[in-house]
Structure formats: C-alpha cells, structure tokens
Structure 1
Amino acid sequence: MSSRPRVLVIAEPDPELPAPPLSLIPPDVDVVEVRGTPTGDQLAGAEVLYVWDHRFTDLAPVLRSADRLRWVHAASVGVNRLICPELVSRQVTLTNSRGVFDVPIAEWVLAAVLSFVKGFPHTLALQREHTWLYRTTGRLAGKRAAVIGTGSIGRAIADRMSRLDVEVTLVGRQESNAMTAVAAEVDILIAAAPLTAATTGLIDADVLAALGPGGFVVNVGRGPTVVEADLVEALRTGTIAGAALDVFEVEPLPADSPLWSMPGVLVSPHMSGDYVGFEVDMIGVFVDNLGRWLRGEQLHNIVDPECGYVRS
C-alpha cells in the first residue's frame, strides 16, 4: 500500500462543465476520483477531499466516516452547501477557490450594467426588425452603485465600476441591516455576497421600493439573497427599471418563471465567472494549497465555518 497522502476528488460528470484536469496535480499524492458520495473503502486513509462537483452537499456523513480527513477544498467560492457542524467538531479545515472568478465576474457585471444603461437590448430588438430609430441613451459615468459583499469579488466589481466614474459604496456585514437606506441612495444595487443567514432575503420589496423606478439590480452572488417574488412584482409594476441575474432561488430557472420574458431583465445560467480555461486556474488554486499542506504551511482561503466565508 502506498505511503503517500491520499486525495479524494469528488467529480461527478456534468455535461455543462469541464472535467477537472487532474493531471495537473503533482505526483506527490495518490489521487482517487470519486463519483457521488465516497464509499468507506475510498475514505479509508484519505487526508484531503477536493470537491469539484458543485452539486455535492453530503459533506457531514463523509466527515463522520473519514477518521484521517483533515482538509476539504471546494472548487467554488460559495461554500454554504458544505458548511456543517462536523467541520468544527472534527477539526477539519475548509478552503475555497477565492480569487479565480474575481475579474471575470466583475467584467460580467460591467457588461450587464453598460448594456442596460446604453439600451443594447432595445437596439438589438430594433436591429432584428430592420428598424432605424434614432434615440438617446444614458450615461454610466456619474451613476451611484452599492456592492453588497466586501470579499474579493465585491472589491473587484467596485474597483472596475469606480474606474468608469461610478460612485461606489461597498456594503459589508454590518451595513446590511440598513439595506433600505443604502438602496435609497444609489441607482444600481449589486449583490455579490455569500449566502448566509444574514444575506438570505436581504433584497426584498422594501429595498426594491427604496431603489426606485430608475434602479437596476444585479445578482452574481446567490439566488436567495433576493426575494424573487418581490423582484418579479417590482419589475412588473415598474417599481424598478431592470435586473441582471446570474443566480436564482431555484436553478435551473424553471421554464414558467416570468423572469424569462420580462422586459429589462437579463437571465444568465449561473455562468458569470466561467471563462475558457477556468478549470485550469481553478485546480491551480488547489495545487498551490496542496503544496502548502504537504510542507506543513498555512493554507490560503480558509473559510470560517461560523460566518460561511473567508475572512479578509
């Protein structure tokens, strides 16, 4: 039997996503690829668990069955599905892939906001009809935006928005209790926060009403941060002007959701951070941390299970 550390990789095939490039993991460890929940034999002797499958949610029973498991790494930024009491009780470290998606998601947000301000959906609709209709559009410069979430993604969004002369406010954990007041002072409300008890249902009817009829909502964090029924009603009644949504309460978004066909709404299938080659960069974060773990060094991107994210 090999004396090298054993790394389990949960990588259930997903036709929509690239497979993990496991060949990039150095040969210092034994890599065991797992489909679904690991068996007892697979867990025997395993010290590291790499959760590539974003649909995997059964971490608690795995931790209870794996005596030697001390580190779990998520191939994602959001880890709410993996948070469980066993992480603390069994002294297992959880890390995530923070940093991989910062710039791509910020670019997506900029594209969505600029498309809305410059009226691109209307322009494309007129183009399809071969209709020449002169009109004026808005300006992004001088707009005010609030970014909910002060992690690396939220900071990347705020940085790039500010470079286009947008007045940006970063909203952290403490300020989230005053979301109505925050929304009343901005034109664009961007959710880029992890899903926690504090952020669930954070953007509701009162917040949307405060944002006002010219307001635009962007959600690239987690679907339940926005009360979807309240958002649909706000869009239907003109309480706000539009929304760009990459995440939803239920995914895939049901075919009968009114969001699919509402004017001023962009529906994106949870892909704002994914770019050609992201799987290589993603596994690079794990490989870097694996080297640290083998050398007995401090890991990067350690998640605090009490709050559900990496404390900056």
Structure 2
Amino acid sequence: MYRKNTFKEICSEVIIEPWEFGEPEPESTVDLSEFNVLYTMGLHDNLNILKKASKIKWIHSDSAGVEAMLNEDIQNSDVTITNVKGCTSVPIAEHTIAMLSSLARGVPTIIRNQINKNWMEIPVIYIEKSTVGIIGYVHIGFEIAKRCKALGMRVIGCRRNPDKKNKEYEPADLIMGMDQVDEVLSQSDFIVLALPFTKETSNFLNKERLNKMKKGSYLVNVGRGNTIVDGDLIECLSNGHIAGAALDVFEVEPLPKDHPFWQLENVIVSPHNAYNSSKHLDRVMELFLQNLKLFSDGKPLMNVVEKKLGY
C-alpha cells in the first residue's frame, strides 16, 4: 500500500535500506550526509548510523520502545524522536484479554491434556467481579481497562500521575499512584504490567513485590522484559504463590531455549507479539506519513518522545 512514490510526494529523496530483524545493522550503500529524517527500529537501533548522517533532525521509531537509541548524546541533542505510541494499544489490549481469559480458564492445561489425550476436569476461576490491577495505566492500560470492564471486572489503574483521568470515559474504578503499588498488588486477582523501559522500572517486580501479590493471583506482562526479575518470578510460580503468568516480553529476546519459562506448566510464553495485528503496518505508516507532512510543513510532530523520561 505504501510505495516509495507515496513518500516522494512529500520528500525530495527517499532511501530504503533493508534490515532483517535479528540481523546485524547493514552498512549504508549511499551518502547519508544530507538526509534529515530517519525511520528505524527504535527498540533495537543504537543509532550508529548518525556518524554518517550528521544532519538528521528527526528520528521515527517503528516501535513504542526506544530504549536502544536513547544514549547520552541523543538525550542531550536537538534531535526529535517520535514513536508509534497508540498504534499498538488495541492489539496489545486484545492480547491481554486473551491471556487473562486463558489463565482463568486453564487453557495451558487444556492444551497439554489435549496433546496427551488426557480427559480430566480443570480448575478455573471466575473473571467477573475479580480485580485487575493495571500497572502503567496510560494508552495501552486504558484500552485494557475498557475491555476488562466489559467482562465485569473491577479495574485499578496505577500510574505516575493518578489525578489524570480520561475526560470522556474513565473505565478504571480507582486510579492510584506508583507510590501505592504495593496496595494494588495485594488487592488484585490479576496484575497486568504495561510499564515502559526506564531506569525506574528496571527490576520493578522483584521478590519483595511479588510476595505482596495476592496468593493465587495471576500476572500478565505486555510492557518490557526488564521490569521482572526472572529468578524471583520463577520461584513464586514454582511454590504456588503466583498461580500463573502470561509473558510476552523478556529481558533477553528471543527467549533462550534453556530458559525455565519454557518448561513451567503455569506459564504462557508469546514471542513479543502482543503489538501485532493484520492492520499494524497500515496504522504505523499512516502515522508516519502524517508526521512526515507535519515535518515538511514545519509544524509540531505527533508522538514526540520525552527523551529524559524514555517514553
């Protein structure tokens, strides 16, 4: 749908350098010294290319996460960074609901029993009237909350600014500050992590906080892999304090084949795929083209990242 000519209607020159996911960054085949816009994989790009593209003024990330590119030089520079915030909120929310339902209805056990042709009754829990705590209650968290309310759940949002509410419709029954996160953990039957990658969120869910979760509760992580201390979570999943977890993001990706998460029967592993949908490319390209037109016209861009905060 989005051919090179679509961009050339706005840009005087367009260069496309293919970069396969998981492969080393390719060497540029052209002179980049006059280019001022860069579209890249923000989650994986450390921006070494800027050594050859000194006139770049705006960098657009095709992921919401931009941690790889936020080195000290970039943070202190005048370069503007934008991301795809909002484009992935609905797919991630849909994925989260699928995981909550799967954990509640014992789907991991159902699948194993099917493979082994084992017919047996499976314990399940009631989603309606249960409490879900959404830690990182912003765009993604809001979309998750809307869907949880439709299932009859009590929703607690947890965010840095608890006084900020959606003016048109606020699905959360209660919004608490990050300084009250322990209270959220202790009240919730389900915890959803939708936190960004920052210094403050690194190792956020450690042994101390995991033990403050309600016994027998469930965890879903659709934020960043660095927010959980893997060893501490494995211990809580193994001793039954946490009944199960659905994990879409990991500190090391792809998840190593010898990682214990693969073997735990109460864990659902998905390959950082919550953001994905059949409309993903359309959404991100539409946003980028809108921003490209704004940039060309000298107007403020959408989805500008606060570089010091990291999102």
Q: Same fold (TM over 0.5)?
A: yes
Provide the residue aligned with 1:220 in structure 2: 222
Question: TM-score normalized by structure 2?
Answer: 0.85
Determine the C-alpha separation between the residues in 2 that align with 1:296 and 1:38. Answer: 31
Tell me the CA shift for residue 306 of structure 1. Answer: 1.0
Aligned partners of 2:42 and 2:60 also within 8 Å: no
Q: Name which of 101, 105, 110 aligns with 1:118.
A: 105
Superposed counterparts of 1:186-205, under 5 Å: 186-205=188-207
Aligned partners of 1:21 and 1:280 also within 8 Å: no
Change (3 A) 1:89 1:271: same
Superposed counterparts of 1:48-63, under 5 Å: 48-52=37-41, 54-57=43-46, 59=47, 61-63=48-50
Superposed counterparts of 1:129-208, under 5 Å: 129-134=116-121, 137-173=124-160, 175-208=177-210
Aligned partners of 1:63 and 1:87 also within 8 Å: no
Tell me the CA shift for residue 219 of structure 1. Answer: 0.6
Change (3 A) 1:147 1:132: same
Change (3 A) 1:205 1:295: same
Provide the residue aligned with 2:69 in structure 1: 82
Percent identity, aligned pairs only, is: 32
Aligned partners of 2:87 and 2:280 also within 8 Å: yes
Residue type at the aligned position of 1:157: I
- Given the alignment of the two structures, is residue 25 of structure 1 paired with residue 7 of structure 2, yes or no? yes
Tell me the CA shift for residue 193 of structure 1. Answer: 1.2
SS at match of 1:211: coil
Query: Structure 1 residues 178-187 or 72-81, which shifts more?
Result: 178-187
Question: TM-score normalized by structure 1?
Answer: 0.85
Tell me the CA shift for residue 42 of structure 1. Answer: 2.9
- Given the alignment of the two structures, is residue 280 of structure 1 paired with residue 282 of structure 2, yes or no? yes
Superposed counterparts of 1:295-310, under 5 Å: 295-309=297-311
Tell me the CA shift for residue 191 of structure 1. Answer: 0.8
SS at match of 1:266: strand
Q: Name which of 258, 263, 266 aligns with 2:260.
A: 258
Provide the residue aligned with 2:89 in structure 1: 102
Aligned partners of 1:24 and 1:283 also within 8 Å: no
Tell me the CA shift for residue 263 of structure 1. Answer: 1.6
Determine the C-alpha separation between the residues in 1 that align with 2:70 and 2:42. Answer: 15
Query: Structure 1 residues 85-94 or 284-293, which shifts more?
Result: 85-94
SS at match of 1:286: helix
Tell me the CA shift for residue 138 of structure 1. Answer: 1.6
Provide the residue aligned with 2:60 in structure 1: 73
Residue type at the aligned position of 2:267: V
Change (3 A) 1:199 1:117: same
- Aligned residues: CA RMSD: 2.2
Determine the C-alpha separation between the residues in 2 that align with 1:136 and 1:266. Answer: 17
Query: Structure 1 residues 98-107 or 44-53, which shifts more?
Result: 44-53
Query: Structure 1 residues 126-135 or 229-238, which shifts more?
Result: 126-135
Provide the residue aligned with 1:4 in structure 2: none
Determine the C-alpha separation between the residues in 2 that align with 1:283 and 1:52. Answer: 13
Q: How many pairs does the alignment contain?
A: 288
Aligned partners of 1:145 and 1:190 also within 8 Å: yes
Tell me the CA shift for residue 179 of structure 1. Answer: 2.8
Report Cα offsets for 1:189-229 as digits up to 9, x if no partner: 11111110111111111111111331111111110101111
Determine the C-alpha separation between the residues in 1 that align with 2:151 and 2:55. Answer: 50
Report Cα offsets for 1:102-149 as digits up to 9, x if no partner: 111101000011011112222233333444434562211111111111
Residue type at the aligned position of 2:160: R
SS at match of 1:244: strand
Tell me the CA shift for residue 40 of structure 1. Answer: 9.8
